[in-house]
Amino acid sequence: MPRAASTPAARWPRRGRTCSAPGSSASSPRTSRSDRSRPPAPRAQGSDRMLIRGGTVIDPAQGLHAVRDVVVRDRRVTALGERPTPAPGEEVVDAHGLLVVPGLIDLHVHVFYGASHYGIEPDPHCLATGTTTVVDAGSAGAFTFTAFRRYVIEVSQTRILPFLNIGATGMLSADVGELEDVRFIDKARALQTIEAHRDLIRGVKVRLSRQQVGANAGVALATALETAAAARLPLMVHVGDTPIPLDDILRELRPGDVLTHCFHGREQGVLDARGRVRAEARRAVGRGVHFDVGHGVGSFSFAVARGALAQDLRPATISSDLHVYNVHGPVFDLATTMSKFLALGVSLDDVVRMTTAAPAQALGVPGELGTLAPGAAGDATLLRLEEGAFPLADATRETLVAGARLVPVAVVKGGVARAASLQQPRLPPVPVSRPYG
C-alpha cells in the first residue's frame, strides 16, 4: 500500500503541459481551506484520449491489485496494462504513488436538491469527493419524479441512478413521513412512473421506521414488494425502529433486494438482545439479499458493525446515505465511510469491492460500472492512503482513531479529469424536528 510520506502529488494534463491537482498536497484537505457553506463544483479538463499512468490499480471485479496504466478513449476504458510511452495527443494523469480504483459507486444518497428536505447538490458533494455514480434512495416519488429527472439528474455531471419511493410525494418534509397517510402509498402511480422512466429507475424504495410510516408499515411493505415484483426491480428497505419485527421484514425480501442501514444501533437490528447475529439475517444473506451500510446521521454504529463483523456478517456494499444533515459530519463523504471500515479491520481490497464491483452488481451493471476492464465506462477515482491518527465518528457519537484514511485526489468521469478532495467540515445546519437516516 502507498504511504502518505512517499505519495507524490497527482498531476493533471492540459494539452502540452502538466499541472498539479488541487488537494494533492500532504496536508489534510479538511484543514487546508477556509470554511465555506459548500464546496465549488469540480472543474473539469479532458479530451477523448487519456492515460492514467503509474498508479496501483485495485479492481476487485478483475481480481487485480497491481501497478498498471489505464487508457481511456471516447469515454470508455480501452486498455489496462503497461504503457511506457504516451500515444500522440494523449492527456496523461500521473498517478504514481496513488491508488487507482474504478469510479466509486455510492448505493445510498439523497440529491433531490431544492425539493427534498434531505437533498444535497450532487456535483459538489459527490463527484467532487471522488464518487462518480450515486443511487438516490427514494427522494422522489411518483408525483415528483419528473421534476427530479429534469432539474437534477439530467443537468448533473454525477451519474444518478434513482430508486423510486413507494410514497407518491417522496421525501419532501422532515415533519410528515411520506407514508403516514395511506393514500400516498400508490402502486398504480408508482408503476406508471417506472414505465415512463424505465431507462433510468433502478429500484423501489420503502422506509419502514415509525416516523416515516406511522401505522402503515404493513401496507407500505406489502405494496412496495408487489410494486417491485411487478416492475421486475429490486426493493430497497430502510430499517431501524421498525413497527414490524426485523425478522418478519427479512423473510419477505427476495434475492437482489437491498436492506439498507444494516448496522444501525437502534431497535430491531441485525444483532439480537444477546449480541448474536439473527438467524434470519444469515438466511437472508444466504439467499441473496443485499446488506447495505447506509451510514446516515443516525444509522451506523461501530459497536453493531464490530459485533456483526466478528461473527462473519459482512455488508455487501458500503454506502454513505449522504444528505444535508450529515454532509458536514459525521458522514462527510463516501471516502470517509470507507475509511471507517478500514479502521474496523476490513481489508483495502474488500472496501474497494464494496464501493465498486458490489454496487455495480446490485444495480445490474457489472462490466459497465465498477470496473476498469476494457469496454467499461471511463470512470476512475484516484485515492491517497494517508497514515496518521484520524478521529472518525459513527452515528451514535462513538469515535475511534484510525491509523489510516483514504483521501480522494482526483476523479475521472467519462474520460474527463477533475480534482477531488474530502468534504470540508463546518457547523451543522439548523436542526429540524425529525431528521433521520
Tell me the domains of the chain and their CATH numbers. 4-102+378-387+402-419 (2.30.40.10), 104-362 (3.20.20.140)
Cell of residue 338, nine digits: 470507507
Q: How confident is the model at residue 22 (pLDDT cuts 50, 70, 90)?
A: very low
- Whether 36 has a pLDDT exceeding 50, the answer reads no
Quote the CA–CA distance of 114 and 151 in Å, as a whole number: 9
- Alpha carbons within 13 A on the beta-carbon side of 418: 27
> For residue 260, which of 213, 168, 322 has the smallest C-alpha distance?
322
Asked whether the beta carbons of 102 and 380 are under 8 A apart, the reply is yes
Asked whether the beta carbons of 246 and 209 are under 8 A apart, the reply is no
Sign of CA dihedral 217, 242, 328, 387: negative
pLDDT, residue 84, reads 74
Q: Which residues pair with 416 in a beta bridge?
A: 46, 413
Helix or strand holding residue 310 (H, E): helix 302-310
- Whether 433 has a pLDDT exceeding 60, the answer reads no
212 to 1, 72, 136, 267, 396: CA distances (angstroms):
43, 44, 17, 15, 20
Asked whether the beta carbons of 271 and 304 are under 8 A apart, the reply is yes
Instruction: Report residue 222: phi and psi, to 5°.
Output: -60, -45
pLDDT, residue 409, reads 98
| Residue pLDDT, tens place only, 351-387 | 999 999 999 999 999 999 999 999 999 999 999 999 9
- Alpha carbons within 13 A on the beta-carbon side of 320: 36
The backbone region for 84, taken as left when phi is positive above 0, alpha when psi lies in -120 to 50, beta otherwise, is alpha
pLDDT, residue 233, reads 99
Quote the CA–CA distance of 248 and 4 in Å, as a whole number: 47
- Whether 76 has a pLDDT exceeding 80, the answer reads yes
Q: In percent, how much of the chain has pLDDT > 90? A: 83
| Residue pLDDT, tens place only, 218-239 | 999 999 999 999 999 999 999 9
pLDDT, residue 85, reads 84
Q: Which residues contact 217 (CB under 8 A, 6 or more apart)?
A: 208, 210, 242, 243, 244
| Residue pLDDT, tens place only, 319-329 | 999 999 999 99
- Whether 256 has a pLDDT exceeding 70, the answer reads yes
Quote the CA–CA distance of 26 and 274 in Å, as a whole number: 45
| Residue pLDDT, tens place only, 411-422 | 999 999 999 999
Strands 64-73 and 76-81: antiparallel
Q: How confident is the model at residue 437 (pLDDT cuts 50, 70, 90)?
A: low
- Whether 46 has a pLDDT exceeding 80, the answer reads no
Give the mean model confidence (pLDDT) for residues 152-178: 97
Q: What is the dihedral of CA 335, 271, 234, 321, to 10 degrees?
A: -30
- The mean pLDDT of the chain is 89
35 to 31, 242, 365: CA distances (angstroms):
9, 38, 38
- Whether 135 has a pLDDT exceeding 80, the answer reads yes
Q: Which residues contact 155 (CB under 8 A, 6 or more apart)?
A: none
pLDDT, residue 423, reads 87
- Record the pTM: 0.89
Give the mean model confidence (pLDDT) for residues 336-341: 99
pLDDT, residue 44, reads 52
